Amino acid sequence: MLEVSIIGAGPAGLTAAYELSKLGLKSTVIEADHQVGGLSRTVNYRGYRFDIGGHRFFSKVPLINELWQEILGEDFLVRPRLSRIHYDGHFFDYPLKAFNALAGLGPVEAFLVGLSYTKAKLFPSEEETTFEQWVSNRFGHRLYRIFFKTYTEKVWGIPCTEISADWAAQRIKNLSLSEAIRNALFGSGRTKNGQIITTLIDNFYYPRLGPGMMWERCKELLAARGHETIHETRVEKIRHRHGRVECIYGKTFSGELVEFGGDHFLSTMPLRELIQALDPAPPEEVLQAAKNLRYRDYLTVVLIVRRETVFPDNWIYIHTPGVKMGRIQNYKNWSPEMVPDPTRTSLGLEYFLWDKDEEWNWSNDRLIELGIRECAQIGLIDPTEIEDGTVVRMKKAYPVYDQKYYENLAILRQYLETFSNLQTIGRNGLHRYNNQDHSMLTGIYAARNIVGEKYDVWSVNTEMEYHEESRVEKTETSKKKVFSKVGDTTLGDRQVPTRIVPATTASHISPDEIIEAVFAKLDPLALGTAVGIVSGLSLFLATIILLLKGGFVVGPNLSLLRHYFLGFRVTWSGAFIGLVEAGIGGFILGYLIAWLRNWGMRAYAFLLKKRAEAEAQRRLLDDV
């Protein structure tokens, strides 16, 4: 039996182990922390539970939805969603609501936003290499400064001019100001996505005791099947030879060195650390590329408030300049069971930092004081209401998409592809800002690759890059059906990623090209010419036949056409006039038919695209 060693017990690693157990293979999961879940773990502080960030359970991948239900079952709750933006002393509903936004910004600012948007449409930046350029081209520079710049720079710690446009295209794709306004005024339609009927804005699934409950349960199921999860062991060396990993060495918290063998190895550890752990060391170019990758660190200041209700939101985005925190989570509103005392509320104040920042090394007491002061500053609490608090730090929470990340990642990927039994998965294993469901999918793909499948783990990212199949109800045979490499979607069906086809056949196919293929245009010139020739010849031949037939009265009914064709008579000269005029009339008719048909299909395709865009824009800030 093949044996697999998996580095990391987050969603990707545990999902890979779970899939391997279904495939009949044995795995061992090695985790550096004392608990599983990675970024999706749930911390318990004196009975108060909280996330490392909020983790909604919603996916467009039916396979992942079914897996969640399979693991957790009745412990899933359906929770109502409410979130707002705090900016300049005002709370803005999120997603945008027209009258609320107008009241917050004021008519003058709203007018200036409109002018800025018009300028962006008339004089867009020709270059789109940075986040600032990408967003400003689509929303205008003024709205970018209000609702994007401050928050984004809080999250990433670098100017928006240094953040790659790739990140914007991945995380806030398919959005426009006009679409946002349309949804603000009229709302967006609901669509059924498999078994999930509610929309992202309305409801989401959430484990009763937080997201960590999912992964603790997964670990228990794996243990029952004989798959071990080893805690508090950090992988420090990966020995390899001739393109194969031979074993890995982990160091326990007590300093003991432990060796793990295996036929195959899966890694969720940050790419930078993985490359630096390889023995023998990779070429200098590869080491430098790994060193150039950057990660944003994160900490949560948790405050226990002596109040039953503080605010109704699940979370609030803090766009206000002068306040360091980026978001506030209200865990009680995610699940009532996240707090042990219903008369209390626990708040999670999220700070995005570098581990070299001064604040990162502050004491817990000093960070708690900062959190209390900032919450009071924006009017959420009275400092006297705080009765307790704690701090949780998480290093390398977010892979950074700076201007050089792509070329560095390309070097690392090319090198890692030389290994025949090593696959990297998950957010940090791919240096991709994946959602939880995407990370899980990479684990499933990697597990199936071990038994001979040919999935491209690197292809899994956001919906924009899914390799989609239509329905989960299809058989395994149909699931293996090959689709286009980029964005191949069966419109209106449920979506499940499937393997890619060779790049030579599909690597240059874009979503717009696929829509063009589905709604292929008629050639107005060709159809007009065809209809013109048929019409002209038909009238000419009908006239000639009547003339040859002869008789006392020749073609009385055909003569009625003289009311439509100037100069036409059932005569020899009239036949040629009819040939020309009917040909011209037929050409015009055919051309109009093709044009109207193309216009109608373009309108229909536009509506389909806008429906998808409307759904995507509702979760803009959730993806930041």
Closest C-alpha to 16, from 423, 398, 471? 423
- Average of pLDDT values for 163-186? 61
Report whether pLDDT(15) > 80: yes
Q: Helix (H, G, I), strand (E, B), or coil: what is residue 211?
A: coil
Q: How far is CA 395 from CA 201, 325, 348, 426, in A?
A: 30, 17, 17, 15
Give the least confident one: 202-206, 329-333, 493-497, 573-577: 493-497
d(CA 20, CA 448): 8
As a whole number, the mean pLDDT across the chain is 82
* From-to residues of CATH 3.50.50.60 in the chain: 3-60+206-292+403-462
Q: How far apart are the first and last CA of the chain?
A: 43
Q: Is residue 495 over pLDDT 80?
A: no
**How does residue 434 score in pLDDT terms, banded at 50, 70 and 90?**
confident
pLDDT of residue 369: 97
CB contact burial 85-114 (16+ within 10 A = b; e otherwise): bbbeebbbbbbbbbebbeebbeeebeeebe
Name which of 390, 461, 385 is nearest 427 in CA terms. Answer: 461
Comparing 99-108, 294-303, 589-598, the range with the smallest average pLDDT is 99-108
Least reliable range by pLDDT among 196-200, 270-274, 486-490: 486-490
Give the torsion sign (CA, 402, 404, 407, 411): negative
Specify the 3-state DSSP secondary structure of 244.
Answer: strand
- When pLDDT is cut at 50, 70 and 90, the band that residue 549 belongs to is confident
Going from the C-alpha of 537 to that of each of 530, 561, 585, the distances in angstroms are 11, 15, 12
CATH superfamily of 295-399: Protoporphyrinogen oxidase, mitochondrial; domain 2 (3.90.660.20)
pLDDT in tens, 565-574: 777 777 888 8
Q: Does the pLDDT of residue 505 top 90, yes or no?
A: no
pLDDT of amino acid 99: 65
Is the model's pLDDT at 59 over the cut of 80?
yes
Selection from 360, 347, 351, 336 nearest residue 388 by Cα: 347
HSE (side-chain half, CA atoms, 13 Å) at 598:
15
Give residue 189's pLDDT.
Answer: 45
Residue 345: closest CA among 316, 378, 312? 312
Tokens representing 19?
């899939």
The rounded distance, in Å, linking the Cα atoms of 160 and 150 is 9
Task: Compute the chain's Rg from CA coordinates.
Answer: 31
Residues of the chain with CATH 3.90.660.20: 295-399
pTM as predicted: 0.72
Residue 63 has pLDDT above 60, yes or no: yes
CA–CA distance, 80 with 206 (Å, rounded to integer):
10
What 3-state class would DSSP assign to 258? strand
Return the amino acid letter for 208: R
Does CATH number 3.20.10.10 belong to domain 3-60+206-292+403-462? no
